[in-house]
Amino acid sequence: MKLVTASEIRELERRAVQEAGLPTLLLMEHAGRAVAQVVWKLVRERGGSRVAVVCGKGNNGGDGMCAARHLANAGLSVRVYLLARDQDVEGDAATNLRALRAAGVEVDNVVGAVDTALKAVGAAADLVVDAIFGTGFRGSPMGLAARAIEAINEAQKPVVAVDVPSGLDADTGKVEGPCVRAHVTVTMGLPKVGLLVYPGASYCGEVVVADLGLPRKLVLDAAFLLTEVATAFQVARLLPPRAPDTHKGTYGRVLVVAGSARFPGAPKLAALGALRCGAGLVRLLVPECIFPAAAASALEFMPAALPDSHGALDSSAVDPLMEFAQDADVVAVGPGLTTAEGVRDVVRAVLERCDRPLVLDADALNVLAGQLTLLRNARAPVVITPHPGELARLLGISTPEVQRARLEVARSAARLTGAVTLLKGARTVVASPEGRVVVNPTGNPGMASGGMGDVLTGAVAALLAQGLVPFDAAWVAAYLHGLAADLVAQERGDRGLLAHDVADRMPEAAYRVRAGQVKEPFSYLHAASLG
């Protein structure tokens, strides 16, 4: 499903008006009615009948006023708190205000005794509708709006936010001041980026996407919409089928180059990730010093030793590694290698000489810090899977800079390196050199433990080996990896999750996706009658 920024949804609405002839007032009517549908259902489920609608003077407030009219017509007790004078409301919002008053709905103009008026919001309602700020909001709420947001939160009643919770930046998910904590957000037309990424995702509750009646062809033809959210439906379409007459060679051969005396567990986790994500054969190359341990634990993967020096790969490992690569479909390099000089030589050689698709993680990226040209000039397609610190080192910026603008930084990294970039973290971001971005909705805080990235590296390599293109292999692997962790957390909680626990649940994650047993990140609301 497409994700949009404020400017992108405005452009879609402009085209709907100018090219498809849809009146803006009709779009607002669809929006208000969708909010009313959600509110009606929630209020009735809770046995209530009283709704307070807090409106700003702009179009978001107009959506709220339209919803209030529909709710009143359906028999609910509705009171509107307008944070403006009537004469300050313009355009389609003013039209809905006039219709609201004509319908006999009580409207309080909250411009004077603010605290007294807003305290009544919680006391006189079973549910509150937040229609103060919409997608155009930036910065920190001030004055009357800030106090209204605080009053909504203090009311401790269920809250339905219109389009985005007031106080949240729809493009970035940033929250710089008071922000409504919604139980449900009814967002218009398409979900906004800020509803999916953190911290915004923690304010919006359940997200319902309301059908505004935008022509489907108009959305599909909008080449400027480059951001998407991963869905189970799309993952199911991309997962390679498993035909009954196939064999292990059908599902690809993965070569994993990993490990050191300091990090002997990383290679096995990467190999396990590849196997659990469906690779047919996995060969594991490790420094000679840890080969006995790797061989002792090898059941399904095939270990081999490479020359080492002082507990890490030596530059003399390059030629034997390249021989092994000739028998592989994909080569994954990096987990636990360290940044020894020999590792630097190995990584450079792989980029320059290997003609197999590459997955680079961890130390394979650390040794490339500031050397983006090596990635741009790689002989084969590359997927990089950094965490924020690794990407910061690679690009020569700070980790906070990465975290403040994860989508933009991932896009920039993919463009500068020519590599598909999988930026790990809460809401993993996958970017292509052409500018496409997929945001992953799966995963949980239990994944904040060692080895998770090693498993993901193997999973990406496995999907590449099974025929997915690099961009799809990266985001599908991230989705399945996060979903597997969610399955573990549902049973055991999100404390003490181990990387191999997650790897072991990846086959189940894939099965559930294919069986249609996974809830999508957003629900979609089509036009329907109240009651």
The H or E element that residue 30 is part of is helix 24-45
List, in sequence order, the alpha helices (H) in 378-519.
388-395, 399-404, 406-417, 452-465, 470-492, 499-504, 506-514
- Cross-strand pairs, 128: 52, 159
Q: Which tokens hold the place of 431?
A: 């970017």
Q: What sign does the CA torsion over 269, 271, 275, 277 have?
A: positive
Give the tokens for residue 483.
Answer: 């979903």
What CATH code is assigned to 232-238+251-514?
3.40.1190.20
* DSSP structure class, residue 47: T
Closest CA to 307 of 288, 279, 281: 288
Mean pLDDT in residue range 143-157: 93
The C-alpha atoms of residue 422 and residue 230 are separated, in whole angstroms, by 13
Residue 459 has pLDDT above 70, yes or no: yes
Tokens of 523: 């629900």
Task: Report the first-to-last Cα separation within the chain, whole angstroms.
Answer: 29
Q: What is the 3-state secondary structure (H, E, C) of 317-332?
A: HHHHHHHHHCCCCEEE
Residue-averaged pLDDT of the chain: 95
Domain boundaries, the chain: 2-225, 232-238+251-514
Question: What pLDDT shows up at residue 298?
Answer: 83
Paired strand residues for 331: 255, 358
Question: In whole angstroms, how far apart are CA 360 and each of 29, 52, 257, 391, 461?
Answer: 50, 53, 10, 12, 10
Whole-prediction pTM:
0.94
pLDDT digits (tens, 9 = 90+) for 472-498: 999 999 999 999 999 999 999 999 999
For residue 80, what are the β-bridge partners?
53, 107
Of 352, 279, 340, the closest CA to residue 315 belongs to 340
Per-residue pLDDT at 450 = 95
pLDDT in tens, 265-305: 999 999 999 999 999 999 999 999 999 999 998 889 999 99
At 403, give phi and psi (nearest 5°): -70, -30
pLDDT at residue number 531: 52
Query: Residue 528 pLDDT more than 60?
Result: no
pLDDT for residue 527: 65
What is the pLDDT at residue 161? 98
What are the start-end ranges of the H helices in 103-133? 114-123
Q: Using CA atoms, how far apart are residues 399 and 261, in angstroms rounded to an integer?
A: 28
pLDDT digits (tens, 9 = 90+) for 73-127: 999 999 999 999 999 999 999 999 999 999 999 999 998 766 677 777 778 899 9
| HSE-CB for 224 with a 13 A CA cutoff | 11
Distance CA 477, CA 455 (A): 10
pLDDT-based confidence at 526, cuts 50/70/90? confident
Q: How far apart are CA 448 and CA 437, in angstroms?
A: 23
pLDDT at 523 over 60: yes
Note if the bond before 240 is cis, omega within 30 degrees: no
Q: Are strands 159-162 and 523-525 parallel, antiparallel or unpaired?
A: unpaired
Average pLDDT of the segment spanning 57-65:
98
Copy the structure tokens of residue 114.
């603010």
Q: Which tokens belong to 150?
A: 């605080």
| Range 35-44 average pLDDT | 96
Which pLDDT value is given to residue 122?
76
Q: Which fold has domain 2-225?
A: Rossmann fold (3.40.50)
Convert 483-517 to b/e letters by CB count within 10 Å (16 or more is b). Answer: bbbbbbbeeeebeebbbbbbbbbbebbbebbbeee
